[in-house]
Amino acid sequence: MKSRFALVALTALALAGCQKKAADSGAPTAPSTPVAAVAPPAGKQWSDVVTPTADGGMMMGNPNAPVKFVEYASFTCPHCKHFEDQAAETLKSRYIASGKVSWEFRSFLIHGPDAPITLLMNCRGPDPYFAISQQLYATQDDWLMKLVNLPKDQQTELQNMTPTNQFKRMIDVMGLYGFMAARGLPKAQADACLEDQKAIDALTAAQNNYQTRDQINSTPTFFINGQQQTDINDWTALEPRLKAAIG
């Protein structure tokens, strides 16, 4: 498979969905007894607890929650934006808040801009991760179309840049330097993050695992307690699966 760090043709971004594969759905097994609520740490809500995971994701909620929800998503994917718009607040208030469910977000690189955006999100750190993610999805059409509408000569120039300079140029064109600076990541720090080879290598390793070990080739893709919820890509279809897993 072609490297996901390669810059995709920007005109294709305007038309691309996020590749979906059809398969039989796998409903989670209901527990023998309903899952009990778990109190959060003193002075906190579970939605305040965000931790990096060994698989390169960010997890919100009770790290020991008996129901583990994992989402593979692309920041540039319109289907993922739709899911975020539908699901984020209900996930937090109804499921994460109870301590019964944790939500792990794993960034899956579908389009060229996903790589630098993910590097900046990881660099900003866990505490604001889900809040900033929600804000990115809410404004996705605005910043992504700036890149899609880049004049052809500038597209060609961008494609001929080194990967690090591509990252910086894409972030600049999309206006995300200012977006991230307003959320605690100034430009100098953002540039250092985009140049961090150790972080790039970790992101590459995570993507390889997602593709080969987890067999991910589309976004959004969901797992509940290690079981892929295939052929489901919106909250209306997914929520009954979470309810079933809780019992």
Omega of the bond leading into 128 within 30 degrees of 0 (cis): no
Tell me the per-residue pLDDT of 189-246, one tens digit each, with 9 for 90 and over: 999 999 999 999 999 999 999 999 999 999 999 999 999 998 898 999 999 999 999 9
Tokens of 105: 């977000």
Check if the beta carbon of residue 105 is closer than 8 Å to that of residue 52: no
Reply yes or no on whether the pLDDT at 187 is more than 90: yes
Rounded percentage of the chain residues whose pLDDT exceeds 90: 84
Tokens (6 digits) for 213: 């070990």
Model confidence pLDDT, tens digit, residues 91-141:
999 999 999 999 999 999 999 999 999 999 999 999 999 999 999 999 999
**Reported pTM:** 0.90
The pLDDT assigned to 19 comes to: 59
Range list of β-strands (E), the chain: 50-52, 58-60, 67-73, 101-107, 221-224, 227-228
